[in-house]
Amino acid sequence: MAECQRSLLQAQRKALPIASARDALLREIRSHDCCVVVGETGSGKTTQIPQYILESGLGRKGCVGVTQPRRVAAVSIAIRVALERCCPLGQEVGYSVRFDDKSSPATKLKYLTDGMLLREAISDPLLSRYSVILLDEAHERTVHTDILFGVVKTAQKIRSEKQLKKLRIIVMSATLAAESFSNYFNKAKILYIQGRQFPVEIFYTAIKQQDYTHATVTTVLQLHEDSEKKGDILVFLTGREEIESVNSLLTLCKVMFPSDWLDMIVFPFYAALPTKKQQDAFLPARGGARKVILSTNVAETSITIPNIRYVVDCGMVKAKGYNPHIGLDLLSVQPVSKAQARQRAGRAGREAPGACYRLYTEDYFAELLNDTVPEIQRSSLSSVILQLLALGISNIVEFDFMDPPSEESLVRALEQLYLLGAIETDSSEEGVKLTALGLKMAQFPLEPSLAKTLLSAGEHGCGVEIVNIVSMLSVDSVLFTPQDKRERALESRRKFVSPDGDHLMLLKIYRAFKSVKGNKSWCHENFIHMRHMSTVMDVRRQLTELCGRVGVELGTGGAECSEGVRRALIGGLFMNIAEHAGEGKYLTHKTRQQVYIHPSSCLFHVKPHPPCVVYSELVYTSKCYMRNVSVVESDWSTTPTTPR
Ligand code: ADP
Ligand code: MG
């Protein structure tokens, strides 16, 4: 490497806010086994602290591991740090993410996703190759991070009891809510890093934007047009497709720029982008052009691109989100929290005063959640347990959760998993273990009962149909009923109605949508939400991919699939069966609770009332209603019995 680049990089390192705290930090880390480090994004936590540890010799008895929730961050940070240390990637500095391992026995500093460290912990619960583990981006509170907290804490304790090599733990977070981390790690010392934050002016839109990608393009162009405005623009969008479509729109517009305008260069930044292209976003644009970086939320806290003065925030994020309809987290586009919106805005004020353009109204902002809720509290317990077991953690009741669930709900969830055939008692140890079926179920981001439905659909020869139905269930409702066209909407719906119930109706709608290739005017004429349908297609793609990965043969039942579909539904939803008890009142099988068919169901008006039904979910309003209901025969279900 050229000497001048080396000295430039060293000068940059020395100029970071964290550099002046280096010695004090090392002193604290040396004298405490656990520390929590809090500092503004961009201050240098992720790239510098691990290097300080390495340089001080603190970690010399093993490897220094730094975890990241996102793969794209782990990779790009490792590349940066290798560059700063003038070593080829995979030697002293490396990374390890799913399907891509750039580390070697020589690696002393390893960036890895928290999923990868959990995987390592299965074969080596004491994490014995590590002397220091830095749990980065702790404020994100993904299920993996939360579980990792427990795994690392236990490893540290056991290593100390057995007088093995010491394990130091450093938790790093970009938010000030550090007490909960500190309390969890036995009142760990909290260290605050002074960051730099210049004022950022916030702008909102006056009215709600119908299409934020369009609003993004307009805003970026207006900003760029103003030659008084110096500095680069960082745009937050939700994912690859959106980023690429804004990218091509901006590129089209560029052709029409007057010749006296500054040049503008657009850099996409998302996980699926080749690493080389990701790295380009960090370089200064040639000829002093203005850079426009179109990024997913990875640029919120995990990575820092220099010279940003303007932030454009669409207000949405693609995240693993709790989906109440299918019970669990699938990637979906959802509103950000206030904390996230502030964090995004902050990116504009790291080097000088800046501005943030929110592509939503101030009222919209006021309604956002304050903080992102920890994922573990949004997922159902049975699915969290399924994940723990898949990670080889069998003594669930004893597990040291940062936010522990009640023992009663743990036991209930274990019972459900047993009935689903996902777990069995482990004769050799205290505890339970996954069955082969359970291991497959754990791969799906669905409520275990739906995962089971999906996995057992093959037996009934209707895997494809069940994937389609589950995808349709993942959105609110694909049907819309405008007040002024109510009659017409209901009329057009009649052709989709199925005597067997809502699940088959959803399947009919899906098939009709597919046969017109997602035609927009067809959706309009049939009162179908186009946007929800594209979410359905996205979910469907993800589920189909997963089925392929775990080796599930889907098979299709074609036109005559109704009975197979309903039998498959019972395969997983056998706890959601209800029997008619007269005058429209139903009683649930297991708990004898009074429930009714929801007015939105196509079975609502059916007389006589079907004697036995299966439902997807219960909603409580004036009464307890079953939503998405199908007719079944009572002798189809062979409910397993509870173990004793
Ligand atoms: P933190 O973890 O506190 O958010 P980082 O250690 O990730 O901070 O980043 C510190 C600084 O390093 C950033 O402000 C940025 O200026 C610089 N930096 C990080 N990665 C790169 C990169 N790939 N290229 C250029 N500069 C980078
Ligand atoms: Mg960081």
Establish whether residue 628 lines the binding site of ligand 1, counting it when its CB lies within 6 angstroms of any ligand atom.
no
Neighbours of 352 (CB within 10 A): 14
Is 382's C-beta closer than 6 angstroms to any atom of ligand 1?
Answer: no
Please state the three-class secondary structure of 148-216 as a single string: HHHHHHHHHHHHHHCCCCCCEEEEEECCCCCHHHHHHCCCCEEEEECCCCCCEEEECCCCCCCCHHHHH
**What is the pLDDT, as a whole number, of residue 355?**
97
Confidence of residue 305 (pLDDT cuts 50, 70, 90): very high
pLDDT at site 454: 94
Contact in structure between 527 and 480 (CB atoms under 8 Å): yes
Beta carbon of 39 within 6 Å of any ligand 1 atom: yes
Which of 111, 196, 304 most suits a substitution to test ligand 1, by most atoms within 8 Å of the C-beta? Answer: 304
User: What tokens appear for 76 in the block?
Assistant: 């790009």
The distance from CA 315 to its chain's CA centroid, rounded to whole angstroms, is: 16
- Check residue 329 and give its pLDDT: 67
Helices 463-473 and 448-456 cross at an angle (nearest 10°) of: 150
For the Cβ of 139 lying below 6 angstroms from any atom of ligand 1, the answer is no
Separation of 174 CA from ligand 2 center, angstroms? Answer: 7
Model confidence at 332, pLDDT cuts 50, 70, 90, reads: confident
Q: What is residue 643's predicted lDDT score, i.e. its pLDDT?
A: 45
Q: How far is the CA of 69 from the centre of ligand 2 (A)?
A: 11
Determine the atom of ligand 1 nearest the C-alpha atom of 279.
23
For residue 406, the one-letter residue type is S
534-589 pLDDT per residue, tens? 889 988 998 999 899 888 888 888 878 999 999 999 999 998 999 999 999 999 98
pLDDT given for residue 55 in this prediction: 95
Determine the distance separating the centroid of ligand 1 and the alpha carbon of 303, expressed in angstroms.
6
Amino acid type, 391: L
501 lines ligand 1 (CB under 6 A): no
Q: What percent of the chain has pLDDT over 90?
A: 64
The CA 42 to ligand 1 mean position distance, Å, reads: 5
Statement: 200-375 belongs to CATH 3.90.550.10 = no
Taking the CA of residue 43 as reference, the ligand 1 atom at the shortest distance is 3
Residue 36 burial (CB count, 10 A) = 25
| CATH 2.40.30 correct for 380-439 | no
Residue 45 in contact with ligand 1 by CB distance below 6 A: yes
Omega before 482 cis (within 30°)?
A: no
CA 22 to chain centroid, in Å, comes to 34
Closest residue by CA, ligand 1 atom 17: 304
Res 429: pLDDT: 64
Q: Is the per-residue pLDDT at 222 higher than 50? A: yes
- Full-model pTM: 0.82
Asked if residue 46 has its Cβ within 6 Å of ligand 1, the reply is yes
- Quick check: CB of 343 below 6 Å from ligand 1? no
Spell out where 206-270 has E strands.
232-236, 264-269
Nearest-CA residue for ligand 1 atom 7 is 46
| Cβ atoms 132, 59 nearer than 8 A | yes
Phi, psi of 203 (to 5 degrees): -120, 140
CB 188 within 8 A of CB 181: yes
38-43 average pLDDT score: 90
Contact 556, 462 (CB under 8 A): yes
Q: What does the DSSP 8-state code read for residue 19? A: G
Three-state secondary structure call for residue 353:
coil
Nearest ligand atom owner, CA of 52: 1
Distance from the alpha carbon of residue 333 to the mean position of ligand 2, in angstroms? 24
The arithmetic mean of pLDDT across residues 120-134, rounded, is: 92
Q: Is the pLDDT reported for residue 512 higher than 90?
A: yes
Domain segments of the chain as ranges: 2-193, 200-375, 380-439, 448-636
Q: Is the CB of 145 under 6 A from ligand 1?
A: no
pLDDT of residue 286: 85
Ligand 1 atom having least distance to the Cα of 195: 3
> Ligand 1 centroid vs 43 CA: distance in angstroms?
7
| Closest CA relative to residue 65, chosen from 145, 166, 170 | 170
Q: Evaluate: CB of 50 within 6 angstroms of ligand 1.
A: no
Q: Are strands 612-620 and 624-631 parallel, antiparallel or unpaired?
A: antiparallel
Q: Mutation test of ligand 1: which of 18, 47, 52 has the most ligand atoms closer than 8 Å to its C-beta?
A: 47
Structure tokens belonging to residue 567: 């039998």
pLDDT at 638: 65
Cα 565 to ligand 2 centre (Å): 47
- Could you tell me the two tokens for 348? 């504009």
Check whether 644 has a pLDDT greater than 70. no
d(CA 314, CA 209): 10
Query: What is the whole-number distance in angstroms between the Cα of residue 79 and the centre of ligand 2?
Result: 14
At residue 218, the 3 state secondary structure works out as helix
Task: Compute the average pLDDT of residues 316-338.
Answer: 80
Pocket lining: 67 vs ligand 1, CB cutoff 6 Å: no
Q: Residue 509: how many CB atoms within 10 A of its CB? A: 21
469, 540 Cβ separation under 8 angstroms:
no
Q: Which tops the pLDDT comparison, 289 or 287?
A: 289
Of all ligands present, the nearest one to the C-alpha of 67 is: 2
CATH 2.60.40.3120 correct for 2-193: no
> Model confidence at 642, in pLDDT bands (50, 70, 90)?
very low
